[in-house]
Amino acid sequence: MAAIAAEVIAQVGTNRTVIGVDGQDGTDLERVAAGLVAGFEQHGVSAMAAAAPSSDVDALRSGLVAPFRSTGAGDGVLVVHGHGVLGHGARGLWRWSLWVEQEAGRLERRADVKIAASAVLDVTDPEHPRREWNDAC
């Protein structure tokens, strides 16, 4: 997960950065978020995870995103995890996003939610998560 954290750092930075983590049913999004937080910490970046109370954009904004961005100063990453957080309404809340899936029930390559994600993570083997490349080639 340190490699994915490095990708986030390079692409969007860490100044009060909020990341959305969503995935197919049956994936352990809390575990993925915790791994991503640990990955940021390996790079010396302060990070924390929070479970999304719902996929409602207003609740996410007022309950998690706005307080995180308005309190504290300097570098910090908030990893928000929950099913539905990459839905149409909430996508604009995240500076970077991750879709999590496993072999059973994998979405088609061009599925809307996968296209919207910054990256795709395969957790078929939860001990060895693997970054997938969801490009159109």
Asked whether the beta carbons of 95 and 103 are under 8 A apart, the reply is no
pLDDT in tens, the chain (137 residues): 999 999 999 999 999 999 999 999 989 999 999 999 999 999 999 999 999 999 999 999 999 999 999 987 889 999 999 999 999 889 999 999 999 998 877 766 557 777 889 999 999 999 999 998 876 55
2-132: CATH topology: Rossmann fold (3.40.50)
Apex 117 CA angle, 97 and 35, nearest 5: 40
Q: Can you tell me the distance from the alpha carbon of 79 to that of 102, in angstroms, rounded to the nearest whole number?
A: 20
pTM of the model: 0.93
Domain ranges of the chain: 2-132
Q: Can you tell me the distance from the alpha carbon of 30 to that of 23, in angstroms, rounded to the nearest whole number?
A: 11
Q: Can you tell me the distance from the alpha carbon of 97 to that of 56, in angstroms, rounded to the nearest whole number?
A: 17
